[in-house]
Amino acid sequence: MKKAMVIGASGGMGYALVMELVSRGVEVVVFARGKERLGELFGREEKVTIIAGDASEKKQVSLAANGVDVIFHAMNLPYEEWKGKLLPVTQNIIEAAIENGAKLAVVDNIYAYGKSGGSRLKECMEKKPHTKKGKLRKEMGEMIQQANIPTLICHFPDFYGPNATNTYIHFTLEQLLKKKKGGFVGPNHIEREFIFTKDGARVMVELALREDAYGHNWNIPAVSTITARDFEKIIKEQLGKDKQLYYITKPMFALFALVAGKGMREAVEMQYINAEPTILSGEKLTRFLGEWNSTPYEKGIEETIGYMKNQI
């Protein structure tokens, strides 16, 4: 891979992918709507070409993808836009890859699996989404798999990391950096997993470099599971013992959503992920890549806090 394109480069995972690719000497076209934000993030990177554009316009995507070997689709639409835009945008990206003879690597979440039933989610499991968004993600995945180009899909748990602003962990840390208490979405005792964006990007780029990784779905788990109690302990060690969490259960989330706007209301149906263990299995990935190093939560949270402090 000599040249890649990252769609949604200004988001948390998009940013991590760009920096991982650049660290490997790959030229990168970064594509997102906000030219100013792209400049802030990548203006000093010699191997980065900035192109502001709209992925809902196929011609813009195709022109930006000229000459790239792999397109990384890391675009994260607001929930309220999924119904009308998720599938058309995906089709535009697929057609841009076809027109340019590029491979396609897609960042995906775990919604298409539906409830875990207490088992770790494996790629071979039948996808049984019970939410509107899960059904859309399943349809999106099928569209990608049926495309007449080499494709791979990476399923990730919730993210955290530098520039990963549209995440639950960012919401919690942002509050804790401003005051003594921060809201944590979900009960305090449920096992959860959050993947450090740098780890996710490193694994995804490694997969994208291997011909035999294409044609597959890949579940990319976090380093380990963690409870809100564990998270609070780390926070107290890094930000001070006076810091505390309060826990936002599904009923509380639904109440907040009534006054918080459509975006948050759209997130209510996804709260099953925060209310029961919904954990990815990494067995297939380990068989393919072998053991890989992951960032401990303590180190990842420390780096994320440092990045956030520099943005204040």
Q: What is the CA radius of gyration of the chain?
A: 19
pLDDT of residue 261 exceeding 70, the answer is no
**What is the structure's pLDDT at 270?**
85
- Residue 259: band (very low, low, confident or very high) from pLDDT cuts 50, 70, 90: low
Q: How far is CA 210 from CA 29, 76, 105, 204, in A?
A: 20, 25, 11, 10
Which residue ranges does the chain devote to CATH 3.40.50.720?
A: 3-161+193-222+279-295
- Is the pLDDT higher at 135 or at 264? 135
Q: What are phi and psi of 104, to 5 degrees?
A: -130, 125
Q: Where are the alpha helices (DSSP H) in the chain?
A: 12-23, 35-42, 58-64, 82-100, 132-145, 168-178, 197-208, 228-239, 250-260, 262-267, 272-275, 283-289, 297-311
The amino acid sitting at 134 is G
Query: Which two tokens mark 270?
Result: 């996804």
What is the percent of the chain with per-residue pLDDT over 70, rounded to a whole number?
A: 97
Confidence label for 75 from pLDDT (cuts 50, 70 and 90)? very high
The one-letter amino acid code at 309 reads: K
**pLDDT at site 300:** 98
Q: State yes or no: pLDDT of 210 exceeds 70.
A: yes
**78-103 tens-digit pLDDT:** 999 999 999 999 999 999 999 999 99
The domain 3-161+193-222+279-295: what is its CATH number? 3.40.50.720
Residue-wise pLDDT for 103-162, tens only, equals: 999 999 999 999 988 889 999 999 999 999 999 999 999 999 999 999 999 999 999 999
The pLDDT score that the predictor gives to residue 267 is 83
At residue 262, the pLDDT reads 65
**Is 292's pLDDT higher than 90?**
no
Mean pLDDT of the chain: 94
Which residues are 70's β-sheet partners? 4, 103
pLDDT digits (tens, 9 = 90+) for 174-209: 999 999 999 999 999 999 999 999 999 999 999 999
Q: Is the pLDDT of residue 8 over 90?
A: yes
Give the number of other Cβ atoms within 10 Å of residue 310's Cβ.
8
- Cα separation, 109 vs 121, whole angstroms: 12
pTM of structure:
0.95
Q: How far apart are CA 182 and CA 174, in angstroms?
A: 8
Determine the Cα–Cα distance for residues 121 and 157; give it in Å rounded to an integer.
11
Position 264 pLDDT exceeds 80: no
What pLDDT does 258 receive? 66
* Residue 212: per-residue pLDDT: 97
Count CA atoms within 13 Å of residue 48 on its CB side: 26
Q: Sheet containing 151-155: give its strands across.
A: 48-52, 27-32, 3-7, 70-73, 103-108, 151-155, 216-219
**CA–CA distance, 135 with 133 (Å, rounded to integer):** 5
**Integer Cα distance of 250 and 257 in angstroms:** 10
